[in-house]
Amino acid sequence: MSAGAPPQAGTHPAPAEAGAPCPEALLPFPPGRLAVVAITRHGIALAGRVVAALPGARLFAPRKYHSEAHAAAPGACACYEGKVGAQVPALFANFDGLVAIVSLGAVVRLIAPHLKDKDSDPGVVVLDEAARWAIPVLSGHLGGANAIAAALQTAIGATAVLTTASDARGTLAVDLLGRELGWSLEASHDELVRASAAMVNDEAVALVQEAGRRDWWPGHANGRSGPLPANLHCFDRLEEVEPECFGAVLWIAHRTLPAAYEARLAGKRVIYRPGVEQA
């Protein structure tokens, strides 16, 4: 059924040793957009390691631990008065990612009143004080929480606990395809949900790549290895696809969708636009 050679998986670079500086590229947003919140002395000490390892991260700690905070993250910390919950609105407004060295249950209660939608909420990750687990809590894909957790795993050795189905199974994440390469995405919320469900439920999905780099799989969604998912069928041209045979069609192209395919792909298409330099 497939036409053309599918993207080939490659070898991943060996992860950095625990505690080594984390490459800037691991974070899904520019330096200076990650906040690290700690509320205990031990948590602040760990936060210092995180700030040292992740470019541009900034520590937030209670005023009563002013000395400990400045020792842990000199020049990259801010101390607040009052309760940590009162800081959440400003943190959500001013940062794209949040690492909370606070219990998971407490974080859920703290952020719940401030949630808006998956397109605008920041990525939130909980890190335990022993640096054993990095757990994405909010906006795993679009907000980058899964990527933050992966960066913490590389930087300080905390195990990233990824519960999103595509990451847990190592399959294709429809909403992240080409993101690390700067591709833009055209799809409604319902189309993304349908295509994502088709992928994780092993339905037949067509991948049509007419443009862009073909070596995207190894770097996809924080890194993939092995072959492409068995339910993903690769084509070189949209005209080779019978849309009725697939639960979703993922189309990577520069050109406009042919009129003949508008109705046939309605509700099941996701279109990816590589940069013009990625012919």
pTM check: above 0.75: no
The string of DSSP codes covering 120-189 is: TSPEEEEE-TTS-EEEEEE-SSTT-HHHHHHHHHHHH-PEE---SHHHHHT---GGGTTGGGT-EEE--H
Residue 27 has what pLDDT?
A: 76
Residue 19 has what pLDDT?
A: 42
Residue 119 has what pLDDT?
A: 77
Paired tokens of 156: 């300080």
Q: Model confidence over 140-151: pLDDT tens digits?
A: 777 788 889 988
Nearest-CA neighbor of 85 among 58, 106, 66, 101?
106
Q: Model confidence over 227-271: pLDDT tens digits?
A: 899 999 999 999 999 999 999 999 999 999 999 999 999 999 999
Residue 5 has what pLDDT?
A: 37
Residue 48 has what pLDDT?
A: 96
> Which residue stretches of the chain have pLDDT < 70?
1-26, 222-223, 277-279
Judge whether 126 and 43 are in contact, CB under 8 Å. no
Residue 222 has what pLDDT?
A: 66
Residue 64 has what pLDDT?
A: 96
Using alpha carbons only, how large is the chain's radius of gyration in Å? 21
Burial of 185 per CB tally in 10 Å (0-12, 13-18, 19+)? middle
Residue 204 has what pLDDT?
A: 96
